[in-house]
């Protein structure tokens, strides 16, 4: 589950993974994203949709794109946490996340 990234001073607070297969390219995540780091891919996916594309940097991990997205698993949002929080976070991975961060 954890994206293995080396700890780094310049690390983004969040990360984003978009499942190109599941995404239908509605663009609601692009509209929703506060730092505007999602755009529409020029390329068509396997099913003929243009899908959402993460810029690769700048994600704050707020998660609003996730709940604006109508597909259950098209977007996965990761958040950078300190190691001592890791265990607790992992244990409660899905607890209370959406509504809290959506209100950010």
Partner 1 sequence: MPTETAAEYVVAQARARSFYERYERKEDLQHQTHFCPGCGHGVVHKMIAKAIDDLGVQDRTIMVGPVGCGVFTYYYFDVGNVQAAHGRAPAVATAMKRSRPESIVISYQGDGDLSAIGSAEILHAANRGENITVIFVNNAIYSMTGGQAAPTTLLGMKSTTTPNGRNAATDGYPLHVSELLSTLQAPAYIERVGLGDNKQIAQTARAIKRGLENQVRGLGFSLIEVLSPCPTIWKLTPVEAQHWVRDVMEKEFRLGVFCDRTKERTEKADLRPADPGSSSHPSVGTPDLRPVTPNPALEELPRILGVAEEDLPEGNAAALADNKAIDLEVRIAGFGGQGVLLFGEVLAEAGLDAGLEVSWLPSYGPEMRSGTSNCHVRLSRQSIDSPLVTAPNVLVAMNEPSLRKFDKSVRADGWVIYNGQEFPADCVRDGVHVLALPFTELADELGDKRAANMVMLGALLEIAGALPQASIDDALRRLVKNPRWVELDERALARGRELYRESLVEV
Q: What are the residues facing 40 on neighbouring strands?
A: 52
Per CB under 8 A, contacts with partner 1 among 42-81 are 47, 49, 61, 63-64, 66-81
Closer CB to partner 1, 42 or 86, in the complex = 86
Beta carbons within 8 Å of 59's beta carbon, 6+ residues apart: 12, 13, 14, 15, 16, 35, 37, 77
71 neighbors 24 (Cβ within 8 angstroms): yes
Least separation in angstroms between CB 102 and partner 1: 4
Closer CB to partner 1, 42 or 99, in the complex = 99
Q: What are the residues facing 53 on neighbouring strands?
A: 39
- Interacting residues toward partner 1 by CB under 8 A: 1-5, 7, 11, 14-15, 21-22, 24-28, 30-32, 34, 47, 49, 61, 63-64, 66-84, 86, 89-90, 93-99, 101-103
């Amino acid at each position: 589950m954890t994206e293995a990234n080396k700890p780094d001073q310049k690390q983004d607070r969040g990360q984003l993974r978009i499942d190109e297969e599941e995404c239908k390219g509605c663009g609601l995540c692009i509209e929703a994203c506060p730092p505007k780091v999602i755009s529409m891919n020029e390329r068509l996916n396997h099913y003929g949709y243009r899908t959402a594309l993460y810029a690769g940097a700048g994600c704050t991990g707020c998660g609003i794109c996730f709940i604006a997205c109508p597909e259950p698993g098209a977007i996965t949002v990761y958040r950078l946490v300190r190691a001592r929080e890791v265990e607790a976070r992992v244990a409660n991975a899905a607890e209370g996340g959406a509504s809290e961060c959506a209100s950010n």
